[in-house]
């Protein structure tokens, strides 16, 4: 299994990582792996989501701006509820 070594880690960041690991009943190494997996998956999903939304926007150009409801009317309706 590969080994990752981090040099010159700020002490406050290490303390935060240690606190989170303790709260989750994990070692610091285990918590680091969990956080890295979450961060990397989040970034990938954001990129793929952005590409999908941009493709939708380009494939469905707005033809009639008047088709959208008036924002002020929507806010007023929501406040009256």
Least confident of 19-23, 49-53, 73-77: 49-53
pLDDT of residue 81: 85
Q: Give the integer Cα–Cα distance in Å for 20 and 9.
A: 16
Give the SS3 label for residue 17: helix
Strands (DSSP E) contained in 1-81 are none
For the stretch 31-66, pLDDT in tens is: 999 999 888 877 767 888 889 888 988 887 776 666
- Whether pTM > 0.85 for this model: the answer is no
Contacts of 4 (CB under 8 A, 6+ apart): 32
């Amino acid at each position: 299994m590969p080994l990752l070594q981090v040099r010159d880690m700020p002490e406050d960041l290490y303390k935060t990582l240690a606190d989170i690991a303790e709260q989750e009943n994990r070692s610091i190494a285990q918590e680091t792996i969990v956080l890295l997996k979450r961060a990397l998956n989040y970034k990938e999903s954001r990129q793929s989501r952005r590409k999908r939304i941009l493709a939708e926007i380009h494939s469905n150009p707005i033809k009639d701006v008047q088709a959208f409801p008036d924002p002020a009317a929507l806010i007023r309706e929501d406040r009256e509820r």
